[in-house]
Amino acid sequence: MQDFNNKLAEVLSVLSQFWLNQSIVSPASELQYVRAVSQEKGIKLPADFEQFYCSLNGMPAIAPHDMDSEGYAFWPIEQLRPVQKEWVVITAEAATVEFATAVIFVDYLISCWEYGFMPNESGEGYRIGILASGNEFKVISASLVEFLNLYMLDADVLYDWKNPFA
């Protein structure tokens, strides 16, 4: 667990500098505040998301610093939006139907599509996916560290929202 926390701290440091290079300043938040806001919204944040919001509370909602140079906006804890419904969860192997809650935490180009995390059905871990079409949740990662790295690399997978099983 210690190695994972070190890796996340490292990625958050790089992300902070990545945003500062674009004149985006993201304030830190106290853990007690992060937990209170998420509880008020009915959201159970994974530990790595708590650490993310304690280190970098998203992007300020003040233009032009409310999104990065590519059009991504990481929402502050106060803006997180849980969406509970029947989802078509798309992985590389299959598309399955699940009634679940996805928590939206990033949007792209003023919500052309969004990114959220969804707890696994087993109750252990979560998936991060693209929400681009109605009730489709296309899984792209099972790790905040991986997602943030993909984001900073502007990886193609972040733009691949199509359902190959449709």
Per-residue pLDDT tens over the stretch 56-106 = 999 987 766 689 999 999 999 999 999 999 999 999 999 999 999 999 999
Domain spanning 2-159, CATH class: alpha beta
Closest CA to 109 of 69, 141, 81, 77: 69
Residues 6+ apart with CB under 8 A from 83: 101, 102, 103, 104, 116, 131
* CA 25 and chain centroid, separation: 18
Say whether pLDDT at 147 is over 80.
yes
| pTM of model > 0.85 | yes
Mean pLDDT of 104-113: 93
Is the CB of residue 49 less than 8 Å from the CB of residue 34? no
* CA 126 and chain centroid, separation: 11
